[in-house]
A and B are shown apart, each in its own frame.
Chain A
Amino acid sequence: MSIKLPIYMDYHATTPVDPRVVQAMLPYFTEHFGNAASRNHPFGWEAEEAVDKARKQVADLIGANAKEIVFTSGATESDNLAIKGVAEMYREKGNHIITCVTEHKAVIDTCKRLEKDGYRVTYLPVQKNGLISLDDLRAAITDKTILISIMTANNEIGVIQPIAEIGAIAKEKGILFHTDGVQAVGKVPFNVNDLKVDLVAISAHKMYGPKGVGALYVRRRNPRVLLAPQIDGGGHERGMRSGTLNVPGIVGFGQAAELCRQEMVSDTARLLALRERLNQKLHTGLDEIYINGTMEHRLPHNLNISFAYVEGESLLMGINDVAVSSGSACTSASLEPSYVLKALGAGDDLAHSSIRFGLGRWTTEAEVDYVADKLITVVTRLREMSPLYELAKEGVDLSTMQWVVH
């Protein structure tokens, strides 16, 4: 079987739009172009009907009521609305927020902004497996805590946090619980009532839908969550998010959500098998490779591996017909390795040597084999020219060496 290069294996960054989603969207650009807020003619009614259907499709994916879905421009906006909206609305009640060091920047930087405005934020550490400790969470809660924001699955290492347990703690303490569900929703079972979450940020383009559309789940009952809107205007989305609705995008989001719901079981089984095949091949072909984050609680399509003694950017250069992400950000002037991997306690050298593989709906066995073989060849070649590999093979403990740091 021939394979088409370059190979896309970066499904955590974004996904192609499923052709069935495109088909569903197309009429809403031209034929049914109405404004969903136009209440007095059929163009508006058609658009509103389509949005209502999509709202139900998205709600069904997470076990919610359609009225609890607020459409946004994407998950970054959803995270901002959830966190800033709660902070502003519940200011009288308290000013403390708990989140975690490995959150996406949409959460971390939103919290940092709130700190400037006088809120107090606790950034929980993670254990070596990438998960927070529930004891740390309990210890961080104060009578001023108004919100806990912990992501469901991490975008780099794919580990899934104990959301149901966190939800139970939040409920017991009467604290609202927001989760950035971007990487998990549509990929693994997710039910807002089972997990006891109050707010969930979702993105369409991570689940084979279009870019530029997302949603925030906002619980309406037990408790009813109130949000201070962050965008003012025509009062769309029950006043929580003004702005004309992106009807074609929302229709596509709905269709994508429905497909994810219908195909989750078969997609998961297929992706798990492919992920294991990739993992096995790499472990057979190479020594001294390390998986970042627990394999026990992890997205089925994620693998994040550090290849000791080779540097991430040179590794990516050697596999330039494969689209993956590196934990090393050597291309930026800062030379900072991934803050997520650093938080796991991996040495900076291993953080610099990591690759994130994101498999998806169109990943094939032939592609997995090609990527594994190519990596084995390139890593072997780079290790032959790595002074660190040579020293390690001579029995030198690299961690005890005195380096001349620039």
Chain B
Amino acid sequence: MAYSNKVIDHYENPRNVGSLPKEDPNVGTGLVGAPECGDVMKLQVKVNPETGVIDDAKFKTFGCGSAIASSSLATEWLKGKTVDEALAIKNTDIVTELSLPPVKIHCSVLAEDAIKAAISDYKKKQGSASAGVVDKAQPSA
């Protein structure tokens, strides 16, 4: 299938691949998807406790090129946003930016879920999980 140039660029030069220390109280981790569905995303945010701004974001993704691009793009967008601004990112924004075809929309949905899961994890750590965010169940070992 034909990929858009932006998807190819993110696939070939993924931004912010890596991991943050998941025990750090200022780090929120989201792990969504399932291997049998062909995509799993891990997305992490590091929030500055003073300002509430996301200082750093990292991802690792098992999935097709569109899934990799969606999570790579998400980390780019997250950096510099406040936690609440981050929650406003919609999967449709990712679809538009990457020109994803209909069969790849689930990749953007997964990226949005990963953002929400990471922030939910961060809020839980901060003792503010009651901030109205739906807590996505975290995979547990």
A residues near B (Cβ < 8 Å) are 309-314, 317-318, 328, 330-333, 335, 337, 347-349, 352, 384-390, 396-398, 400-406
Contacts and interface: CB of A to CB of B under 8 A. Distances in A.
B102 to A, nearest CB: 8
Q: In terms of DSSP, what is the predominant structure of the interface of chain B?
A: mixed
Contact of B38 (A317, A335, A390, A397): A335
B17 A311 contact: no
A14 to B, nearest CB: 20
20 contacts: A311-B63, A314-B63, A317-B11, A317-B65, A335-B38, A335-B106, A348-B35, A349-B36, A352-B36, A384-B17, A386-B60, A387-B42, A387-B60, A397-B141, A400-B141, A403-B34, A403-B40, A406-B33, A406-B34, A406-B106
B31 interface: yes
Q: Among the interface residues B8, B17, B62, B136, which one has the most CB atoms of the partner chain A within 10 A?
A: B62
A311 B64 contact: yes
Given A385-B14, A406-B106, A317 B64 contact: yes
Contacts of A335: 37-38, 106
Contact of A402 (B14, B38, B139): B139
B141 A331 contact: no
B40 to A, nearest CB: 6
Interface residues of B, number: 39
Contacts, number: 104
Contact of B37 (A314, A396, A405): A405
B64 A388 contact: no
Given A314-B11, A387-B61, A390-B60, A404 B106 contact: no
A404 B33 contact: yes
A313 B60 contact: no
A385 B60 contact: yes
B123 to A, nearest CB: 18
A388 B35 contact: yes
Given A309-B62, A311-B38, A335-B38, A406 B103 contact: no
Contacts of A404: 32-34, 113, 136-137, 139
B140 A385 contact: no
B77 interface: no
Interface in B1-60: 1, 3, 8, 11, 14, 17, 19, 31-42, 59-60
B31 A387 contact: yes
Contacts of A405: 34, 36-37
B100 interface: no
A349 B14 CA distance: 23
B73 interface: no
Given A335-B37, A403-B34, A403-B139, A313 B19 contact: no
